[in-house]
């Protein structure tokens, strides 16, 4: 009964320039750790092979060091690895794959599917029908060639491809590199292992996208998994089990604060997130000066606890309450300035007015604290 691990879209060499240097380096390292975890899972689940359905590398120009580290990370599983070129690392005449071969970086147990055809793993009971991308974009279905591939009797026929199943994925996925939705039936496949969609997704009983093993974007599409696939025999329905592999959780929150309870709920949700969190937070609405102090304190704690947090507060207006104003002891001219800044937040100078109000409130609080010492 063949059992294999299906993974894809490692995107090794991907950079995270929008993050702080320390955070970006940790996110890069997590992707290498994900490969090591895949090797560990392949051993734990007694898999016969690991199939990588495209985009092992993020670009043809990744460094030699990255190439070597990728293949070094596979050493934890001694069984066969089969790697398919995708749109990011297409099997060009001169490519990241030819460079890896020249470097002598490819271990003997790693099979590179650089040409269309069948890779037979006889002792594992697998016949792998491969449709590598030999250019970044194609407009014909490369898996159509599977129809004419003969395989030895008794072997499980597994298709390995990278592209977009026509008519079944969201509209924003690339329309290039199409794959027919009935490919498993038309080509008599027991299973079709796909890459390109970065989240785990079932197309039908025999067709799955594994998604990327380590999330790298904020889109909520079930990233951070690999698939353990069991097929009892030719023609039998495969048993597919998603296994969590991701280290970091990526969250993108868009929150509107209107009343005090909104802030309380937000802070509770922040506190419930694990340390391995990458959070993009955008706040709108209004907040009191006391609430602003509470929010800034919570964000400061989160910055030290999470892997990364970015908070955009440009759409959040400061609306001091009467108690806020009384606490600031802002009477006379200073009180008039505060009133003017409050009103200016509604106009074109909203963000500068908000910042000025926050600075002024901070100065007034600092003055009172010094006076009390």
Examine the domain organization and report whether 57 and 141 are in the same domain. Answer: yes
CA angle 111, 113, 119 (to 5 degrees): 70
Indicate whether 325 and 286 sit together in one domain.
yes
Cα distances (Å, whole numbers) of residue 238 to 26, 146, 164, 185, 355: 36, 19, 21, 14, 58
Q: Give CA–CA dist 281/284, Å, rounded.
A: 10
Cα 250 to Cα 203, 302, 306: the distances in Å are 24, 14, 11
E strand residue ranges, the chain: 3-7, 49-52, 81-83, 110-112, 117-121, 126-131, 156-162, 164-165, 178-179, 191-195, 201-204, 207-209, 225-230, 239-244, 249-257, 277-287, 308-318
157, 289: one domain: no
Indicate if 259 and 288 belong to the same structural domain: yes
Could you tell me if 362 and 262 lie in one domain? yes
Nearest to 67 by CA among 110, 93, 34, 106: 106
16 with 147, same domain? yes
Q: Of 192, 213, 244, which residue constitutes the final position of a domain?
A: 244
Domain end (from 244, 272, 300): 244
- Give me the residues paired with residue 253 across strands: 281
Residue 366 and residue 316 in one domain: yes
Q: Is the dihedral of CA 10, 74, 177, 155 positive or negative?
A: negative
Residue 238's pLDDT is 98
- The domain tally of the chain equals 2
Find the domain containing 259 and state its range: 249-372
- Close Cβ partners of 337 (under 8 Å, ≥ 6 residues apart): 360
Q: Within its chain, how far is the Cα of 358 from the centroid?
A: 36
Q: Which residues contact 7 (CB under 8 A, 6 or more apart)?
A: 38, 50, 51, 52, 53, 210, 213, 226, 227, 245
Task: Give the pLDDT confidence score for residue 1 in this predicted structure.
Answer: 82
The answer to whether residues 302 and 176 belong to one domain is: no
Q: What is the pLDDT of residue 318?
A: 81
d(CA 206, CA 219): 25
Mark whether 285 and 223 lie in a shared domain. Answer: no
Report the pLDDT value the prediction gives residue 167, as an integer from 0 to 100: 80
Q: Which residues of the chain have pLDDT under 70?
A: 169-175, 322-351, 353-373
**Are 110 and 237 members of one domain?**
yes
213 and 296 fall within a common domain: no
Whether residue 119 contacts residue 111, with contact meaning beta carbons closer than 8 Å, is answered with yes
- Pairing type for strands 191-195 and 156-162 reads parallel
Could you say which of 208, 228, 244 is where a domain stops?
Answer: 244
pLDDT in tens, 112-170: 999 999 999 999 999 999 999 999 999 999 999 999 999 988 999 999 999 999 887 65
CATH number at residue 40: 3.60.21.10
92 and 130 share one domain: yes
């Amino acid at each position: 009964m063949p059992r294999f691990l299906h993974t894809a879209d490692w995107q090794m060499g991907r950079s995270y320039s929008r993050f702080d240097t320390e955070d970006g380096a940790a996110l890069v390292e997590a992707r290498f750790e994900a490969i090591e975890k895949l090797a560990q899972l392949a051993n734990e689940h007694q898999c016969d092979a690991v199939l990588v359905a495209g985009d092992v590398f993020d670009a043809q120009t990744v460094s030699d060091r990255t190439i070597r580290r990728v293949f070094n990370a596979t050493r934890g599983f001694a069984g066969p690895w089969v790697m398919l070129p995708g749109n990011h690392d297409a099997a060009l005449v001169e490519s990241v794959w030819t460079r890896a071969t020249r470097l002598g970086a490819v271990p003997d147990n790693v099979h590179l599917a650089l040409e269309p055809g069948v890779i037979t793993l006889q002792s594992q009971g697998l016949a792998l029908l491969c449709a590598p991308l030999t250019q970044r974009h194609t407009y014909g279905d490369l898996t159509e060639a599977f129809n004419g591939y003969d395989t030895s009797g008794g072997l499980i026929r597994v298709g390995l491809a990278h592209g977009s199943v026509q008519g079944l994925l969201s509209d924003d996925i690339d329309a290039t590199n199409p794959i027919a939705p009935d490919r498993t039936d038309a080509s008599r496949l027991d299973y079709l292992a796909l890459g390109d969609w970065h989240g785990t997704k079932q197309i039908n009983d025999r067709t799955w996208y594994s998604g990327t093993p380590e999330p790298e974007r904020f889109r909520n599409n079930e990233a951070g998994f690999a698939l353990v696939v069991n097929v009892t025999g030719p023609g039998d329905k495969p048993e597919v089990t998603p296994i969590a592999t991701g280290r970091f959780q990526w969250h993108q929150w868009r929150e509107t604060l209107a009343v005090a309870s909104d802030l309380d709920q937000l802070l509770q949700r922040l506190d419930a997130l694990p340390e391995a969190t990458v959070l993009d937070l955008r706040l709108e609405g209004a907040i009191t000066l006391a609430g602003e102090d509470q929010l800034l304190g919570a964000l400061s704690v989160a910055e030290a606890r999470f892997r990364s947090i970015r908070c955009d507060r440009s759409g959040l207006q400061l609306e001091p309450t009467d108690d806020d104003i009384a606490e600031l002891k802002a009477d006379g001219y200073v009180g008039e300035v505060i009133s003017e800044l409050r009103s200016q937040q509604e106009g074109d100078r909203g963000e500068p007015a908000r910042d000025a109000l926050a600075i002024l409130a901070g100065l007034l609080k600092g003055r009172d604290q010094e006076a009390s010492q």
